[in-house]
Amino acid sequence: MDRNDWAQEFRERYERHGDELKWLYMELYHGNEQAYSYFVEMLCRAYAARSETLCALDRERLEQPDWYKGRGLVGMQMYVSAFAGTLAGARKKLDYVADCGVNYLHLMPLLESPAGRSDGGYAVSDFRTVQPELGTMDDLAALADDCHKRGIAVCLDFVMNHTSEDHEWARRARAGEREYQDRYFFYDNWDVPRQFEKTVPQVFPTTAPGNFSWCAEAGKVVMTTFYPYQWDLNYSNPVVFNDMTENMLYLCNRGVDIIRLDATPYIWKELGTSCRNLPQVHTLVRMMRMVCEIVCPGTLLLGEIVMEPSKVVPYFGTVEKPECHLLYNVTTMASTWHTVATRDVRLLKDQLAKVFALPREYTFLNYLRCHDDIGWGLDYPFLENFGAAEVAHKKFLNDYFTGRWIGSPARGELYNDDARLGDARLCGTTASLCGLETARHEKRRGKIDEALRRDVMLHAYMFTLSGIPVLYSGDEIAQENDYTYHDDPLKADDSRWLHRGDMDWDAAARRGDPESVEGRLFGALRRLETLRAAHRVFDASADTWLLDTGSDHVLGVGRFARGEMLLAYFNFGDAPCELRPNEDSALTDLLSGETYEPRTALTLPAGGFLWLGRDYGGEEDA
């Protein structure tokens, strides 16, 4: 393509990033000019193929680059199959999504993926085709379009670390085509794989041990970090990066607003390392960010970095050279459940202090649970100060949340119980982990109230944090664990299906009934969302700090933005707690509207929370 034919807009954007992009590309791919010019032409093609409607949305968002940082966004993630059967079905249920106050919809993997070897859709066999049971690419584009008309942004996974063994590249590699074997990591024998195994940890130690699999047809060993049917792509081959970037842009051009970069830390492998978070991963992500800014600048990159805190934040990049727009607040999530089990807020305070110290430009997705297990990636050196040793503490948490711990109302199941390391993770819906399932089963009214209170408090706490709160579909109506997966041979091995059950529409129909459990939770969450959207103090630009509550059971968070202050308290303990906010002026309970004079003693019930606000008078939204 002749450079002169490029659209002016594309050219300007390319010129802004071209030097850095080329520099990084050449460095990674040893000066491969040919590969780079193919890459740039591909970007140009993708730009040319972008619809005028999406280009207009890009321009609109460029005018308001902080569009996703506002306090008005509420996310929800869901499997389309579990929510509505098909993409067309999901279009019909958008009223419900809107009713939930949701304007960010994460549709779990929906591209073609072999039944029974799909890892919940995370083994993609064709990046350009939707799973036939769910519909077509056109249905996806139509759903995205409907969402946009309602002001809902759409997030989709881009599973870039691996393909399914059924992907065309994998089939051709298996048939012996060298060019395609070079897109993966193939070895003639186990010598190199064995060396890798010395330094690379395992992702699925029980369900899929080891990082390599024998490919009988090719007579070779292939790298499979996740399941044996998920073949790791070799990003040191520029063809892989070029073609996968093209696949990503194809999804962006179908109207996807947020690309979730699945398993980001794993995309570069190097012998003798852990094959996690290597510097080249950051180069690749930075290049992808620039690609989006050139081709589809309205698109956001969400990194899935389920790692210890020090490894997560670098994926934001720097203010001058950003990488991901959004990251999961994973350590905070795990620390929250630790706090639920221990009733002790000290670890959570320490974790939040670290988050509060980060630049406000960094936007986190806050969540209580997602489609995956909860891994106990906590700050163990900190916990050791209190005598909690890692293995024993993980055992306690797992015992607590599986209900084995005496007195625990929680119901969950273990995930990848690695007896060798004592390292099991945990599955369960928010309601079941909060004890609602047990309480309803036992039909104990007081226990139901208690569990609901805890569930609402956890959501209120999530809504208190800066960033985008994301609910898992069904959690808004207190959906419980789904044990039917045990009877499905295609799912029985993977306990994550416990918390990915089908949407219970009968239960959802009760959401307007203030007497029902569904209605009580749904109503409470809607109220919180509305307050969050209405109050400037929830802006991401807010100052945030921890309050001294005088109790290790009670978390206190302060916020101040644009003339508004919030003092938020969350009682994780088992007993009511008396609070006396140390303020000179009156505070108003945002939920009840009641105003308290300075130093009034307030009682916070076990599992209760308070949002106390004070308006010093600041500018309203423009």
Q: Considering the complex, state which of residue 263 and residue 566 has its C-beta at the smaller distance from ligand GLC.
A: 263
275 lies in the site for ligand GLC, by CB under 6 A: no
User: Residues 6 or more apart from 355 whose CB is under 8 A from it?
Assistant: 329, 332, 364, 465
Distances (CA, A) of 452 to 433, 498, 517: 11, 20, 8
Site for ligand GLC in 242-271 (CB under 6 A): 262-263
CB of 442 to ligand GLC, least distance (A): 32
Residues 499, 427: Cα–Cα separation, whole Å = 7
Instruction: Pinpoint the alpha helices (H) of 253-306.
Output: 279-295
| Identity of residue 264 | T
- The phi and psi torsions of 384 (rounded to 5 degrees) equal -60, -25
Beta strand spans in 160-298 (E): 162-164, 186-187, 212-215, 220-223, 230-232, 258-261
144, two tokens: 């995205």
Q: Considering the complex, state which of residue 304 and residue 413 has its C-beta at the smaller distance from ligand GLC.
A: 304
Which position among 79, 96, 212, 226 is part of the footprint of ligand GLC (CB under 6 A)?
226
CB of 106 to ligand GLC, least distance (A): 11
Which position among 372, 390, 418, 583 is part of the footprint of ligand GLC (CB under 6 A)?
372
Site string for ligand GLC, 171-210 (x = CB under 6 A): ----------------------------------------
Which helix (H) or strand (E) segment is 30 a member of?
A: none
Binding-site size, ligand GLC (CB under 6 A): 10
DSSP string, 436-474: HHHHHHTT-HHHHHHHHHHHHHHHHHHHHSSSEEEEETT
DSSP string, 376-435: ----HHHHHTTT--HHHHHHHHHHHHTT-STT-----EEES--TTTT--EEE--HHHHTT
Q: Considering the complex, state which of residue 263 and residue 525 has its C-beta at the smaller distance from ligand GLC.
A: 263
CB of 281 to ligand GLC, least distance (A): 15
| Identity of residue 274 | S
> Is 5 a known active-site residue?
no
Site string for ligand GLC, 443-472 (x = CB under 6 A): ------------------------------
Check 119, 232, 304, 450 and give the catalytic one: 304
Check 262, 323, 413, 518 and give the catalytic one: 262
Distances (CA, A) of 155 to 34, 57, 132, 303, 510: 33, 15, 20, 12, 28
159 lies in the site for ligand GLC, by CB under 6 A: yes
120 lies in the site for ligand GLC, by CB under 6 A: yes
CB of 339 to ligand GLC, least distance (A): 23
Chain residue at closest Cβ approach to ligand GLC: 122
Which position among 112, 119, 243, 423 is part of the footprint of ligand GLC (CB under 6 A)?
119
**Residues 56-79: b if buried by 16+ CB within 10 A, e if exposed:** ebbeebeeeeebbbbbbbbbbbbb
Residue 42 near residue 246 (C-beta atoms within 8 A): yes
From the list 80-88, 115-123, 337-345, 535-543, the region that binds ligand GLC by CB under 6 A is: 115-123
Q: Considering the complex, state which of residue 288 and residue 457 has its C-beta at the smaller distance from ligand GLC.
A: 288
Angle, helices 33-49 vs 279-295, to 10°: value is: 40
Residue 294 near residue 10 (C-beta atoms within 8 A): yes
CB of 262 to ligand GLC, least distance (A): 5
CB of 497 to ligand GLC, least distance (A): 11
Q: Considering the complex, state which of residue 224 and residue 336 has its C-beta at the smaller distance from ligand GLC.
A: 224
CB of 345 to ligand GLC, least distance (A): 28
215 lies in the site for ligand GLC, by CB under 6 A: no
> Is 442 a known active-site residue?
no
233 lies in the site for ligand GLC, by CB under 6 A: no
Which residues in this chain contact ligand GLC in the complex, by CB under 6 A? 119-120, 122, 159, 226, 262-263, 304, 371-372
**Which residues are part of the catalytic machinery?**
262, 304
